[in-house]
Structure 1
Amino acid sequence: MDWNRVEGNWKQFKGKIKEQWGNRTYDDLDQFGNRCDQLEGKIQERYGLAKDRATREVDDWYSRQDDW
C-alpha cells in the first residue's frame, strides 16, 4: 500500500474511511491523523478484530480506491 497517497489526501480519505467503517467517528480520525498503523489499531479495537485481519481490511479497502 502506498500510504503516502492517503497522507497527501487525508481530508478526502476521511470520508471514504467513514463510508467503509461506519462506527468510526470524525473525532477518531482526527485524533490519529493520517497514520496507517493507528487506523488499523482503531479498527481492530472498535470491531474486535485480530491485528492481521484489521491490516488486511485496510489494505483491501485501499486497493479499491481507484480514483486517488
Structure 2
Amino acid sequence: MNSDTTKGNWKQIKGEFKEKYGRITNDESTEAEGSFDKLVGEIQEKYGETREAIEKEVKVGKTTFTIYLKLKKHQELT
C-alpha cells in the first residue's frame, strides 16, 4: 500500500464527514466539496494517483465536456 493509497482512504473519510456536515448545516458548497473530496479519495485509493494528478484530469474532462456542450448547442441553433 503506497502513501497515495493511504491518503486516498483518509480523504474519503474526511470527504464523507464534510459532505454530511454540509447536509446538516444546509451548506451546499461544503456538501459539494465533501463529495468531490470523497471521489478524489476513492480514485487515490484505487489507482494510487496524487490529488494533483486527479484534479488535473477532472479539470481537463470538465473543459472537454463544456466545449462539447457549446458545440452541440451551436449545431442545434444552426
Q: The TM-score by the shorter chain falls in which range?
A: 0.3 to 0.5
Normalised to the residue count of structure 2, the TM-score between the two structures is: 0.36
| Bigger helix share | 2
TM-score normalised by L of structure 1: 0.40
Between Structure 1 and Structure 2, whose CA radius of gyration is higher? Answer: 2
